[in-house]
């Protein structure tokens, strides 16, 4: 699956060494993985987020707090946010804190809009005051597009929208980012503000409710079958390290001051062959898991609110202008995910090391970083 020996970090990634990075949402699934990766790259990280929202949580299992200056604060509380950010003067802000579950947004729509829209504005307002800031990356979602259930992937120029509170809140988040970019971050010599969008992310350490892989693992642990709500729904599946590598690519380009005009939005989605129905993904995951693996109950009448039936992303812009493309086949992404959860269910003592080892092995695939020689500015 991976080369036997981990390679060295490429030139572009090395630009994070010693850089001050403010990361919101570090107690979450994707935020935890990104914290470990940035720490490995030598960044000085301050994490700002609510306490972990799941039990268990990657934040605890992989000891994420060891990799950053962790501050517990709500981005909806401007006083707490200011206190958490004060004295840090970030060079880079990666904003990941969000209400992230589609089905939960139906139960708490006002909270979803407050966190994803107003909370983002709060973070961007703080960013305006950061003297050493070079860039801001706002992480949204593939759900931000007006989903017309068509066969081709959505491009960054396609209309925004949303039929559910979560999707609509992510479209609004994009509009907030766009307004701040045009109003306050438009100077070509000043900090850059970009947004990034990914597909359905899988990987070890996700324990969120109403997500496919965590639901499967919970059922497997209890010895029951997983009831699959919408087996025919098609999603763009990708390992968590794939979009994170895209975010880091954009961030490194911002820090280096090289490459294309980064303004605007960037899609980081999987290849077409990784955009498959939910039911097919379940069967692939079960085969890769092997003995004592998950079982499924298909054909369940969907209960609950509307969820999109077909969604694809087009990442042509990132491929052409950043040299980024997915590095893992879907089977590899599922193997990494199964490896992590099997280790957890066995009671392995050091999931932090396993998580780091998967990051290190993934870096071997990122040979395109060696193609660039950024001018490492100091500030």
Look at residue 309 in the predicted model and tell me its pLDDT.
61
Q: Among 41, 46, 13, which Cα is nearest to 31's? A: 46
> Is 307 inside a domain boundary?
no
Contact 197, 268 (CB under 8 A): yes
Write the CATH number for 170: 3.40.50.720
Within 13 A of 87's CA, how many CA atoms are on the CB side?
4
Look at residue 121 in the predicted model and tell me its pLDDT.
98
> Is 297 inside a domain boundary?
no
CA distance 31 to 46: 12
> Is 127 inside a domain boundary?
yes
Q: Among 61, 29, 30, 37, which Cα is nearest to 344's? A: 61
> Is 218 inside a domain boundary?
no
Look at residue 230 in the predicted model and tell me its pLDDT.
83
Burial class (CB in 10 A: 0-12, 13-18, 19+), 347: exposed
Look at residue 370 in the predicted model and tell me its pLDDT.
46
Q: Residue 100: which domain range?
A: 13-201+239-269+314-329+351-368
Residue entry with tokens 């994009």 = 174
Domain count of the fold of the chain: 1
HEC profile of 254-314: HHHCCCCCCCEEEEECCCHHHEEEHHHHHHHHHHHHCCCCCEEECCCCCCCCCCCCECCEC
> Is 85 inside a domain boundary?
yes
> Is 130 inside a domain boundary?
yes
Residue entry with tokens 């979450």 = 28
Angle at 146 between CA 144 and CA 148, to 5 degrees: 135
> Is 206 inside a domain boundary?
no
Residue entry with tokens 């812009």 = 317
Look at residue 7 in the predicted model and tell me its pLDDT.
37
Contact 22, 85 (CB under 8 A): yes
Within 13 A of 120's CA, how many CA atoms are on the CB side?
30
CA distance 234 to 230: 9
Spell 135-170 as b/e; 16+ CB within 10 A means b.
bbbbbbbbbbbebeeeeebbebebebebebbbbbbb
Contacts of 87 (CB under 8 A, 6+ apart): none
CA distance 354 to 339: 9
Within 13 A of 313's CA, how many CA atoms are on the CB side?
30
> Is 29 inside a domain boundary?
yes
CA distance 115 to 105: 11
pLDDT by 10-residue block (mean), the chain, 379 residues: 37 90 98 98 98 96 98 97 95 95 85 96 97 97 89 91 92 98 93 94 95 95 90 92 97 84 92 92 96 84 60 92 94 98 94 97 74 38
């Amino acid at each position: 699956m991976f080369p036997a020996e981990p390679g060295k970090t490429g030139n572009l990634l090395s630009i994070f060494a010693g850089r001050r990075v403010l990361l919101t949402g570090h107690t979450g699934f994707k935020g935890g993985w990104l914290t470990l990766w940035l720490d490995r790259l030598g960044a000085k990280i301050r994490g700002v987020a609510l306490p972990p929202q799941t039990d268990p949580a990657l934040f605890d299992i992989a000891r994420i707090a060891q990799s950053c200056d962790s501050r517990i604060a709500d981005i909806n509380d401007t006083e707490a946010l200011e206190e958490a950010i004060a004295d840090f003067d970030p060079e880079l802000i990666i904003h990941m804190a969000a209400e992230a579950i589609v089905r939960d947004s139906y139960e708490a729509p006002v909270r979803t809009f407050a966190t994803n829209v107003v909370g983002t504005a709060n973070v961007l307002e703080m960013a305006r005051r950061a003297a050493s800031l070079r860039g801001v990356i706002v992480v949204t979602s593939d759900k931000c597009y007006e989903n017309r259930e068509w066969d081709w992937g959505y491009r960054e120029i396609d209309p925004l929208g949303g039929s559910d509170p979560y999707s609509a809140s992510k479209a609004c988040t994009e509009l907030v980012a766009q307004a701040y970019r045009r109003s306050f971050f438009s100077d070509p010599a000043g900090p850059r503000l970009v947004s990034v969008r990914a597909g359905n992310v899988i990987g070890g350490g996700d324990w969120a409710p109403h997500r496919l892989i965590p639901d499967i693992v919970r059922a497997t642990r209890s010895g029951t079958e997983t009831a699959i709500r919408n087996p025919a729904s098609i999603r763009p599946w990708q390992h968590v390290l794939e979009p994170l590598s895209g975010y880091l690519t954009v961030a490194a380009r911002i820090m280096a001051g090289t490459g294309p005009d980064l303004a605007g939005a960037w899609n980081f989605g999987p290849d077409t062959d990784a955009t498959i129905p939910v039911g097919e993904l379940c069967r692939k995951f079960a085969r890769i898991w092997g003995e004592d693996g998950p079982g499924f109950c298909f054909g369940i009448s969907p209960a609950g609110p509307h969820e999109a039936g077909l969604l694809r992303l087009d990442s042509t812009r990132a491929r052409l202008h950043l040299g980024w493309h997915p590095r893992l086949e879907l089977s590899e992404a599922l193997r990494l995910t199964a490896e992590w959860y099997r280790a957890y269910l066995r009671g392995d003592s050091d999931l932090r090391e396993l998580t780091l080892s998967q990051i290190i092995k993934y870096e071997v695939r990122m040979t395109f970083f060696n193609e660039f020689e950024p001018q490492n500015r100091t500030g």
